[in-house]
Structure 1
Amino acid sequence: MGTLTGKTALVTGGSRGIGRGIAERLGRDGALVGVHYGRDETAAKETVSAIEAAGGRAFPLRAELGPAGDAEALWAAFDEGLARLGAAPGLDILVNNAGIDGVRERIENVSADDFDRIFAINAKAPFFITKLGLERLRDGGRIVNVSTGLTHGAAMPELITYSMTKGALDVFTATLAKQLAPRGITVNAVAPGVIDTDMNAGWLRGSAEAWEQASAMSAFGRVGEPRDVADIAAFLASDDSRWITGQWIDATGGTLL
């Protein structure tokens, strides 16, 4: 029996990259996983199939984040997915993973529209997804927010807006942890460094030099993989982490040392 057997989880942006890694790990640990996606239905179905092939249970749900009413649409799709499977309503684990890096530009080249879009997806969406999810989240539940190592130390100038959104998520994590502790709910953030995902593919996989430079950033001398972050998220979702809350977990592979 897995450590999360009988639990229900939702992973936003769970169809690709770090989100897929987390969804698959939670599924292997026994949780019924709602795999949220925005546009790539094929990727979501592939993730669900991978979880099922490993003996787990999962279902896809679509909601585009950013537009008005996105949180309401997400939870409606989640509730419908549970009902379709005949599963009990409610939630035990919420992973706010979905996010974009937006335009990779320094401050002088960031427009108001660029700024508003990335904040809508990376900060506003998890805020209201969590707000509406609290009525579903059972006492003793878990909230895991995916932050970034860029919020500690000097951020990359071309990722200033992205880093700001994750800084907001860090404050959200600590503040919500204080509020929800009486219910036995823990709230923590896991902060990746450079991870080999589609979001980073444009520059990371573009040349051997870029890959080598990224590898050199980590104390381990390699680029991170989604499973490196997923395993930490799985710990934070388990009962083993019951005495940890409001924390920012460095998952950069020693980049900040």
Structure 2
Amino acid sequence: MNMSTNNEVDDTDNIINEVDFDTEVITYLNYVGHIRRKELVNDLMSEHKDERGYSQKSIDRKLGILVKTGQIKVLKEPEELERYGIDREDGKASYLVSKRTSELKEYLDNMIDLLKNGDDIEKREALVELDTFKNSYVLDSVQLDLLVQSLDTTNKKLIMQIINILYEYIDKRRRDPLNRDTFIEKLRDLLTRYPERENNNDHLRTALIHLLGYYNDQSVIDQLMKDVNTLDNLSSVQPDYETWYTATILESNRELLFDIITKLRRDKREKEATFLSSIRHKARVHLGMV
């Protein structure tokens, strides 16, 4: 009798463990978008070290059941990996995505396409849809590339909304568009088109400089020189440069900036020289140099 009761308890515990495992894996996959199977197994073993049901053999068995029941999908074929923007490291690597991610990808691909090819109403509604899913779906690098292509518009509000999405992915999720060079070129072009703020609520220029600084692009220095030579109120653009995004590119140009500051002081342009000195100091603070 006691043995029967113990068996029933063990069976119940096993069911609970299986449910907890399934929920944990699917929730995690929904958060990261896709992950190499081997990496997921290692993460689970590390997170649940010495816990029952989390040996490599048990995890592989449970993942196999999730695949068999269609709750997660295996990505292994070259065309599948390419569709998700995954580099094919070797011929044996496989990646996992949740069923929901797989289904939502096709839908959101269509939404992103509307940002480029739809009319104004479709573009506006597509952005609403993307915002709706921002906490439950992770855009992959290919989709971020499509967003970059959607920047080919004269609608500044739309550009700002798209840049905000890209900014969040790069800054918080550390996920870049697949074609980084094309993205940087687009950022340069946009900064050329929108070098000044229209009002205090216009943050497009700031976002562009921060992103270009993140990629250590020399156009940040070019824009800085334009500001020094054309703006009366330099303090209005100081926050654009006093950030860790621009710290590395500023310090990389230490000799150039030193020479410019020296020349400005000789020319009695103390305001401009002080401005440059201030942002250089802030850059070194961000880099832990002072």
Greater C-alpha radius of gyration: 2
TM-score by length of 2: 0.26
Greater relative contact order (Cα 8 A, min sep 6): structure 1 or 2?
1
Higher share in strand: 1
TM-score by length of 1: 0.29
